[in-house]
Amino acid sequence: MRIKPGSEGRVANHRGDPQHDRDQFYARSPLAQAARLTQPLLLGHGGLDQRVPSAQGELFHDAVTRYNKDVEWILYPDETQRWLGEEDDFDFWPCRALSRGTSCGALVSGVARCAHARPAQS
C-alpha cells in the first residue's frame, strides 16, 4: 500500500498500521471485494485523480471483470476526482448510466454518486 509521505501517522491513527494490519487492509480493499459485484457496473475515472491514480482504477476494473463481464470502464483523461468538466459529467450520467438501465448510484473514484438532471438551457 502506498502512503502519501508525511501522512503515515494519520493513517495509522485512523485506519491501523499499513504494515502491521496488512491483512485487514486487504480484506477491506475494493480488490478483495471485486467478486461480490455481479450486477452491471459502470466505472468512470478521472485521469488526473491524485487520490486514486488511474492505474489503481484499472486494477479494480481488471479484478471485477474476472467475475463480471458486464462492466464498462470510462476514463476521462482531463478530469480529477471531483469531475469539474460539465461535458464529461453529462456524458457519464444521463447518456451512459441511465441508458444502461443502471441504478442511480455508481462507483466513481471510490465514491458513490447519484445521477442528476441536465440544467435547463437558457
DSSP code, position 43: E
Query: Which pLDDT does position 101 carry in this prediction?
Result: 54
pLDDT single digits (tens) 63-110: 999 999 988 888 999 998 887 888 887 777 765 655 555 444 444 444
Handedness of CA 18, 20, 22, 27 (dihedral sign): negative
Spatial distance between the Cα atoms of 113 and 100, rounded to a whole number of angstroms:
16
Output the pTM of the full model.
0.62
C-alpha distance from residue 65 to each of 1, 40, 72 (Å): 22, 11, 9
